[in-house]
Structure 1
Amino acid sequence: MTVGRGTGLIERLREEMASFTEAERLIANFVVNDRQSVPFETASSLAKKLDVSPVTVGRFCRRMGYRNFRELKAELKFDIAATPWPRGEQFDQLVANDAGKSELQRDFDLNVAGMLEVYNLARTPEWDVIATILAEAPELYVSGFQPERGMAAQFAYMLQYARPNVRTVDLAAGHFADVLADDCPGRALVIVETRRYSRQAQMLARHAQKAGIALVFITDKYCHWAHQYTPHVLALPTESAMFWDTLVPMVAALTLLSNAVVLKLGASAEPRLSRISELYQEFTGHVGQTPRKQRGEG
């Protein structure tokens, strides 16, 4: 079987994604969204990472026209430098005295690579489309599940400074009626979720799609089902050398997105930002500054 070279394979995977089995979609999604990591994987390591069998990886490669995973990797023809970013002496000194030197150094490398990837994503047309959705939707909802709910809430709070009608949503009331029962045209929903994925996240995405809500999904590179519900998916790196997956690239992405929304709004955001700052100073204030209501009472 004749197959395309390099990017041709990526396009084939994207085009045929819907026809794959669930296990095959996991593999295809990893190759498409984490191409920089593919050269460093073997069939066994990839199977372990995706929780599938090595036999499944081999079968998938043959389906795509390759004898094995090694041949599929060669098709992509990567040219990746061994050390694509400099390491400073300060970091080398830090890890030199650390009992877990190799783990700390690998985690540092992974996080720096993840940050570079996020900043490159922030220059893409799809990023600009997502920022436009977040800036222009008349009603914007943000939802997160499991540990990610904290990041989702923080993201919503940041957006509330720049634009009105931003709300966090959850299942505390036993339903998502505040999103799904609203008839506001043009409304949008952001879901922040990483594996293991909450069943609620997938159900909410499915219902949002049926309701015609503009859906933005911010997730990791292993989520093979998000594209079933929306084309607006930011698949971010989360691999870590530590016990937990890293959330550093995701926090960076949410911060950059909130900044992109402010830039989209431009001068129209200034009155709201100023008013919120005034209200905060009046009701709460900052360290070293007396709230204005107390100054006026004197």
Structure 2
Amino acid sequence: MYQLDWNLEELTPHQKTIADYVQKNIHALLYTTESEIAEQLSLSNATVSRFWKTVGYENFKDFKNHLKEQTEISPANKLENILKQVESNEMQNKLLAQSLQHLQETLLYFSSETFQQAIDLLSNSNNIYIYSPGPSEGLANLIQFRLSRFGLSIHLMPKSGHEIFETLVHMTNNDTILIFGFVQLHPETKVILDHSKTIGCKSIVITDRLISDFNTNADIVLYASRGELWEFHSMVAPTFLIENLIIAVGMQKKEHSIAKLEELNELRRKYKDILPR
């Protein structure tokens, strides 16, 4: 968490209250107004407006510009933030506690009805296309590997640029697109979702945002907590969600899934002397 340098000796009691609020809500301030701060603290707008000059800024806008420069979100400062929170001798306990928190938050917003709709789509689609930019690539490989064993037709899409058109041209209204949409709606994701709607291809988005453009652009949205924007993003909850999807699809297509796995075992036995495990 970014720590501001407050000169507490020069602040009045009201100004200390504002400073405390600012420090506790540092990353939300970029999207907050002076009136909202005043309302939260039961202070006048004038008191809040005068505060910024007292702490060295021309106005609230000037403070926001400074804050934006100092709290730029990057992989480096995400890692730095989490390292500041834990000592080496307690890191495992801290990370475990955070992982449990992500899982609990994911379950808090879990909808059995929406989850079943996703299972139905994945189980009955002719083809499943997966778009997985950035760190979600590992999750895409996991679900491709597992669902392919059940006999489903899985296609991983290119990550960016015009190459996605080579995949979009083959999608039909009997297919499903599974998208990992963490943090924000990428231009490629926007194109994929728009094309899906045009041709009637259903879309499932797994995201770490409760409120985003995905809610209005995708057919099904599944939430998985990964932490706040400025934190080191955990993939524990998304992995948990993916593993549940895999198991649920296997159960829904139980006879077919077991038959394909038996075929796999037979191949292993037949060629075990040539290709030992």
Alignment map for 1:15-94 (pairs within 5 Å): 45=24, 48=27, 52-55=30-33, 58=36, 67-68=39-40
Q: 2:260 is matched by which residue type in structure 1? A: R
| 1:171, distance to aligned residue in structure 2 (A) | 4.4
Q: What amino acid sits opposite 1:107 in the alignment? A: L
Q: Is the 8 A contact 1:134 1:188 kept in 2?
A: yes
Superposed, 1:1-298 pairs within 5 Å as 45=24, 48=27, 52-55=30-33, 58=36, 67-68=39-40, 99-100=87-88, 105-119=93-107, 124-171=112-159, 174-182=162-170, 184-195=172-183, 198-221=186-209, 224-239=212-227, 244-280=232-268, 291-293=272-274
Supply the AA of the counterpart residue of 1:55: T
Q: Decide whether aligned partners of structure 1 residues 270 and 242 sit closer, same or farther in structure 2, where only a CA change above 3 A counts.
A: same
CA distance in 1, matches of 2:107, 2:89: 27
- Greater Rg, structure 1 or structure 2? 2
Letter matched to residue 143 of structure 1 = Y
Deviation at 1:264, TM superposition (A): 0.8
C-alpha RMSD of the superposition: 3.6
How many residues are aligned here? 213
2-structure distance, mates of 1:111, 1:101? 18
**Contact 1:218–1:236 (Cα < 8 Å) also in 2:** yes
Q: What's the offset of the Cα at 1:271?
A: 1.3
User: Residue by residue, what CA displacement relative to the aligned partner does 1:92-138 show, whole Å, maximum 9, x if unpaired?
Assistant: xxxxxx73567655533221122234456666111111111111111
Q: Within 1, Cα distance between the matches of 2:129 and 2:169?
A: 13
**What is the deviation of 1:241?**
11
Larger deviation: 165-174 or 139-148?
A: 165-174
CA distance in 2: counterparts of 1:222 and 1:56, whole angstroms: 25
- Partners of 2:269 and 2:165 lie apart in 1 by 34
Is the contact between residue 142 and residue 189 of structure 1 (CA under 8 Å) also seen in structure 2? yes
Distance 1:276 1:175 in 2: 33
SS of 2:206's partner is: strand
How many Å apart are 1:195 and its aligned residue? 2.4
Structure 1: stretches of 5+ with no match in the other structure: 1-41, 71-97, 284-290
For 1:113, the aligned partner's letter is: Q
Structure 1 contact 141–168 (Cα < 8 Å) conserved: yes
Taking structure 1 as reference, are residues 120 and 55 closer, same or farther at Cα in structure 2, changes over 3 Å only? closer
More displaced stretch, 190-199 vs 147-156: 190-199
Amino acid at match of 1:110: Q
What does the per-residue CA deviation read over 1:10-32, in whole Å, with 9 as the maximum and x for residues that have no partner?
xxxxxxxxxxxxxxxxxxxxxxx
Gaps of 5+ in 2: 1-20, 43-85
Please tell me whether the aligned partners of residues 202 and 219 of structure 2 are also in contact (alpha carbons under 8 angstroms): no
Q: CA deviation at 1:140?
A: 0.9
- 8 A contact 1:220–1:235 mirrored in 2: yes
Please give the alpha-carbon distance, in whole angstroms, between the structure 1 residues aligned to 2:263 and 2:109: 32
Amino acid across the alignment from 1:167:
H
| 2:241 counterpart SS class | helix
Q: Aligned to 1:218, what secondary structure does the other structure show?
A: strand
Structure 1 residues 43 and 160, CA, compared in 2 at 3 Å: closer, same or farther? Answer: farther
C-alpha displacement of 1:223: 5.9
- TM-score when scaled to structure 2? 0.64
**2:253 counterpart SS class:** helix
Q: Which moved more, 1:236-245 or 1:141-150?
A: 236-245
